[in-house]
Amino acid sequence: MHEQTACLLLRFKTLADPVRLRLVALCRRGECSVSELTEAIGQSQPRISQHLKQLCDAGLLERFRDGKRVYYRVPLSAEQAARRLLDLLPGDDPVMVADAKRLRALRGSGRAVVEVAAGEQASRAVYRLLLELTVTAPIGNLLDIGCGRGRLLKLLATRANRAVGVDVDADARQLARADLMLSGLPNCSLRNGDMYRLPFADGEFDTIILDDVLADASDPVRALGEAKRMLRPAGRVFVLQALRDRAVMELQRSLAKWSGVAGLRLAPARFAPENAPEWLLCVATRTDANAEAA
């Protein structure tokens, strides 16, 4: 039997179980932990874990660890055949609708109120500037390094093929994961990661944001070099930096120097808000982009 045919038969067999079908429907909405799936489906954890293993074996879900928790999701890189199969899942099935409602309630109950009034005008100015810059070229695959609670992922994910946020703060990742799922953004993923050594392939991303992490970094050149490694030849790095009490001209000179050493060309900075700057945003591109594209 042809390998693709055998794979399709395995997936049909795996999805023939109603509980596994419900689990896949939930994981299409975003990354879910075993405990969340257990609560939402209403079955024991050992049984849910067994179902999840079968779904992973069939390539319908992927498993990853984030700190002490294990999460499951539909692979963002799922091949076309798997996507077509999962697209057949009915969105209006009463059982699946009820499962999703319970999952949203679980996520909502653990979600802290994180809206901050202070700096709101500056945040809106940053958002407008980012939206303006990302209209000029496709976002493609997006990586936000230092994503915190996922505010920029939430802003840009609808225009990205895939959006990944990296942060060392486990609580921030949990809040971001809940907020992104509640916002209906299933193409987002959260990861724990060291910005000097990230678990992604060379040239994996079209757009990378260094989200207020560079000025205080112990080795900013290395962080920029790692961003360059993961950036596609025609991609862009957005260096977003809060000014706080920093000397603006000195910060700009430092960013230009670090970028040059890392092999990135930095465009002139833009500021938000323009009348009373609190944020600086620079766009960097690879200096070897033309050579690699040729």
Q: Residue 68's pLDDT is what?
A: 80
Cα separation, 82 vs 10, in Å, equals: 11
Q: Residue 120's pLDDT is what?
A: 72
Domain membership of residue 156 (yes or no) is yes
Beta-bridge partner residues of 149 = none
Domain membership of residue 114 (yes or no) is no
Say yes or no: 63 and 85 in one domain. Answer: yes
Q: Residue 111's pLDDT is what?
A: 46
Given a contact cutoff of 8 angstroms between Cβ atoms, the answer to whether 92 and 21 are in contact is no
Q: Residue 156's pLDDT is what?
A: 94
Q: Residue 112's pLDDT is what?
A: 42
Judged by phi (left if over 0) then psi (alpha if -120 to 50, else beta), residue 59 lies in left
Residue whose C-alpha is closest to residue 284's, from 249, 238, 250, 242: 238
pLDDT along the chain (294 residues), means of 10: 81 91 91 92 93 93 88 78 78 89 78 46 87 88 95 93 94 90 89 93 97 95 97 96 91 96 96 91 88 49
Coil, helix or strand at residue 129: helix
Domain membership of residue 115 (yes or no) is no
Domain membership of residue 46 (yes or no) is yes
Q: What is the CATH number of the domain that holds 62?
A: 1.10.10.10
Range of the structural domain that residue 8 is part of: 3-109
Q: Residue 75's pLDDT is what?
A: 85
Say yes or no: 265 and 162 in one domain. Answer: yes
Domain membership of residue 60 (yes or no) is yes
Say yes or no: 151 and 80 in one domain. Answer: no
Query: 């025609």: which residue's tokens?
Result: 234
Domain membership of residue 269 (yes or no) is yes
Given a contact cutoff of 8 angstroms between Cβ atoms, the answer to whether 290 and 263 are in contact is no
Beta-bridge partner residues of 282 = 239
Say yes or no: 137 and 248 in one domain. Answer: yes
